[in-house]
A and B are shown apart, each in its own frame.
Chain A
Amino acid sequence: MNATLHRILVLIRKELIAVLKDPRSRLVLSVPIVLQSLLFGYAATFDLDRVPYALLDSDRSGAAQDFMAQVDGSGTFERVLDLHNANQIGDAISRKQVLVVIHLPADFERQIYSGRGAVIQVITDGRNSNTGSVAAGYVGAVIERFNALWNEQHGGMQPPLRIEFRAWYNSNLETRWNMIPSLIAALSMLQVLILTALSVAREREQGTFDQLLVTPLRPTEIMIGKAVPSIVIGITQASIVLVLARVWFGIPFQGSLVILYFGLMLFTTASVGIGLVLSAYSVTMQQATLYSFVLLMPMMLLSGLTVSIRNMPTAMQYLTLANPLRYAIEMVQRVYLEGAGIAVLYNDMWPLVMIAAITLPSAVWLFRHRLV
């Protein structure tokens, strides 16, 4: 037992040196993760802070001015163009000068005072239909404020039925709060999976595989020796993102660090297991890299990172059940934002244990049976 442990430790040391001795490797494992967290943290949001819009005011009345004051005062909308007739709308949108065109009809003021209500036309660029809808929703919010103000000033009736919205855990509904904790799992997995996939394949390609086989190390020991350094690097990368989320982006951490790291450990072990299977199966480093990409792409897209899993068709939802990233993202979000405990997270953790329990022995088996 002691000898086994010693052999494994020696191999772990060798693996860590093999990966980290090259300063370029150290750079490629540390700098991108920081830059990506910062870049994606800012870019990956569905919220709009700045909506460039064009105004086509066919009314030019006092009420129209009041309304536009509300729009401009919202802090989100930025008027970049004034249009003079409806024919100009097409170009303003298709040339991407503006995201939104607000059209106040000629009878705007008259309709408001008559009590029939005025209708504002809002035209948005649907090339990215998601952004277009969000922008239209923002105009809707401005209109609601304007109506409330109008009713107050002109003694209009309040609607008899109001809806009180409350959002748990993220009361301002900031998408960033959803995205950045997910990156703790997603970003570290990307690099670690490739790193692991290359570990055995590199020995094969460089001819050191045979040397490894004639050492006293048993296949299981070799696999543990290959797995541990990757797990360590993965957890380190995840920690970097965690620190940035907490310190740079200031997203409050609600849960327990112990639970988070326990979950991350399970997740990284499961992804390293997948990487080792690929590595033991591949003959060359090229194959190992490319096979990991064939897996990584669907894993990223079916993880709930950008598109909610609940929107997917049932068959595809079943497919996500084999995806460790799906559980990891849910787990990290729930610990980080909801402060969830083990009792709730149990459902995200046991599948990770299962994936690790299947992939790691498979890797050992493949390692033993694929002597190419």
Chain B
Amino acid sequence: MSTPFDMIVRSAVPAKADAATARSFVSWRRLRALITKETRQLLRDKSNLMVGLFLPVVLILMFGYGLTFDVRNVPVAIVADDTSPTAQDVLAGFYLSSFFTVTRPTSMHEAQQLMLKRKIEAIVHVQTDFSRQLASGNASIQVVVNGVDANRARVLQAFAQGAIGQWSIKRAAAGEVAALPVPAVSLQTRLWYNEANNSRYFLVPGLIVLVMTLTGALLTSLVMAREWERGTLEALFVTPVNSNEIIISKLIPYFGVGLAGLAMCILAGKFLFGVPIRGSLLLIIVVSMLYLLVSLSLGLLISAATKSQFLASQLALVLSFLPALMLSGFIFDLHSVPAVVRGISRVLPATYYVEALQTLFLVGNEWGLIVKDCAVLALSAITLLILTRRNTRKVLA
């Protein structure tokens, strides 16, 4: 059996012919041999394919079916110290709403115990003199939530307001208008590009960003470091192979894996989850290729600079994956962060990729934004490649 290494050695044997091309940018023959070697190495190790192809599938399924900001079936306790029909009537909204599943503890104390044990998420408390107070036009209902998950607590408050509001609307419709003074100003909200407020619409473009970051930076962060640690890169140095060829041959197979992941994500987003593609598919592919190049060369740079698999994997995690998840504007909005953090997010290529993808999927070909994003990504890719090239000189450490 010929090992990948044999192949390089064999391809390097006619050294005279190669000596002439050694100084040129690349020799296609050597490059082809190296790419074959890298591809085989990639395909033979199951762990590469686990991250490159299996993990994207897992993430697609999780993002599509599991992760959602849409709240439903919240267990809520109703404590009605006033058992009058009026009180029952006001609380009916909670029973009818699909957002809540209602339990009826007998006392406020019991409800608080349930809340402490996290069996319920909210307590709705109607006091004894509720109907009398309501008749005099000054009644109140207490809603208690656990504020630890603040975002969720806010959603619950809005739902509780809605459930109780239904009663007022019903009363007004029944002609008891006095119950419902018209507010001076009311609000009509429209959420553009995502009228139904479907959180998949922004999760799927974000998912693509994560997958591209993972295959790109993580897989490549290990390849160069591994060769340094095992000493095989030194073996490569004594062949006529030049640094350009080493870098390109390591980029191309992983580029292919990244594109496969991209294709899976786009297909799943479109056909499984019904996320619209309002811009051009071609542009989505172009901008993704640019980002993939950024992410691959960042991985290679980390790998070439650290020369250690432990450091490389930690840095890939810290420099590529975590910022792409937390600082890119994918989940958390960047309008409210302090200037320093915003500055950092502006330096991250992932921020521009998120912006471009969200726009291309949901808005359309908004050229001003897309051109800016593509330019930033292209510039980052070039910078990172140049840095990688400088870190891959054929010199022993």
Q: Are A337 and B144 in contact (CB under 8 A)?
A: no
- Complex alpha-carbon distance, A178 and B147, angstroms: 9
Interface status of B277 (Cβ within 8 A of chain A) = no
- Complex alpha-carbon distance, A338 and B338, angstroms: 28
Per-residue A-contact encoding for B41-83, CB less than 8 Å = 1, 0 else? 0000111101100110011001001111111101000000000
Per-residue A-contact encoding for B331-366, CB less than 8 Å = 1, 0 else? 111111110010011000000000100110011101
- Complex alpha-carbon distance, A157 and B314, angstroms: 62
Q: What number of A residues sit within 8 Å (CB to CB) of B? A: 115
Q: Are B338 and A42 in contact (CB under 8 A)?
A: yes
Q: Which residues of B contact A316 (CB under 8 A)?
A: 62, 65-66
Interface status of A50 (Cβ within 8 A of chain B) = yes
CB distance from B177 to the nearest CB of A (A): 11
Interface status of A127 (Cβ within 8 A of chain B) = yes
Q: Which residues of B contact A85 (CB under 8 A)?
A: none
CB distance from A27 to the nearest CB of B (A): 9
Q: Are B310 and A306 in contact (CB under 8 A)?
A: no
Q: What number of B residues sit within 8 Å (CB to CB) of A? A: 116
Asked, given contacts A156-B184, A285-B310, whether A126 binds B197 with beta carbons under 8 Å apart, the answer is yes
Q: Are A158 and B137 in contact (CB under 8 A)?
A: yes
Q: Are A285 and B184 in contact (CB under 8 A)?
A: no
Q: Which residues of A contact B362 (CB under 8 A)?
A: 126-127
Q: Which residues of B contact A202 (CB under 8 A)?
A: 310
Per-residue A-contact encoding for B171-211, CB less than 8 Å = 1, 0 else? 00000000111111111111111110111011000000010
- Complex alpha-carbon distance, A120 and B1, angstroms: 75
Q: Which residues of A contact B59 (CB under 8 A)?
A: 297-298, 301
Name the CB-closest residue of A to B152: A308
Asked, given contacts A159-B168, A294-B50, A344-B117, whether A120 binds B188 with beta carbons under 8 Å apart, the answer is yes
Q: Are A294 and B363 in contact (CB under 8 A)?
A: no
Q: When the two chains form the complex, which single residue of B50, B69, B137, B355 contacts A291, counting CB atoms closer than 8 Å? A: B50
Interface status of A44 (Cβ within 8 A of chain B) = yes
CB distance from A192 to the nearest CB of B (A): 11
Near B by CB (< 8 A), chain A positions 191-220 give: 191, 194-195, 198, 202, 205-206
Q: Are B190 and A67 in contact (CB under 8 A)?
A: no
Name the CB-closest residue of B to A181: B148
Interface status of A258 (Cβ within 8 A of chain B) = no
Q: Are A126 and B201 in contact (CB under 8 A)?
A: yes
Interface status of B138 (Cβ within 8 A of chain A) = yes
CB distance from A348 to the nearest CB of B (A): 10
Asked, given contacts A132-B191, A164-B140, A167-B146, whether A50 binds B160 with beta carbons under 8 Å apart, the answer is no
Q: Are A124 and B150 in contact (CB under 8 A)?
A: no
Selected A-B contacts with CB under 8 Å, 18 pairs: A28-B318, A52-B335, A122-B188, A126-B194, A128-B331, A128-B333, A160-B138, A162-B139, A162-B141, A163-B160, A164-B140, A177-B147, A177-B150, A285-B310, A286-B48, A290-B222, A291-B50, A308-B152
List residues of B whose CB falls within 8 A of some A CB.
45-48, 50-51, 54-55, 58-59, 62, 65-72, 74, 90, 115-117, 121, 134, 137-154, 157-158, 160-161, 164, 167-168, 179-195, 197-199, 201-202, 210, 214, 218-219, 222, 226, 229-230, 306, 308-311, 313-315, 317-318, 322, 325-327, 329, 331-338, 341, 344-345, 355, 358-359, 362-364, 366, 368-369
Q: Given A127-B363, A167-B146, A198-B309, 15 more contacts at CB 8 Å? A: A22-B311, A25-B310, A43-B341, A45-B332, A46-B333, A115-B182, A120-B186, A120-B187, A133-B197, A165-B160, A168-B144, A205-B229, A206-B229, A307-B68, A311-B72
List residues of A whose CB falls within 8 A of some B CB.
22, 24-25, 28-29, 32, 36, 39-40, 42-52, 67, 93-96, 99, 112, 115-134, 136-137, 139-140, 143, 146-147, 150-151, 154, 156-171, 173-175, 177-178, 190-191, 194-195, 198, 202, 205-206, 282, 284-287, 289-291, 293-294, 297-298, 300-302, 306-308, 310-313, 316, 333-334, 337-338, 340, 344
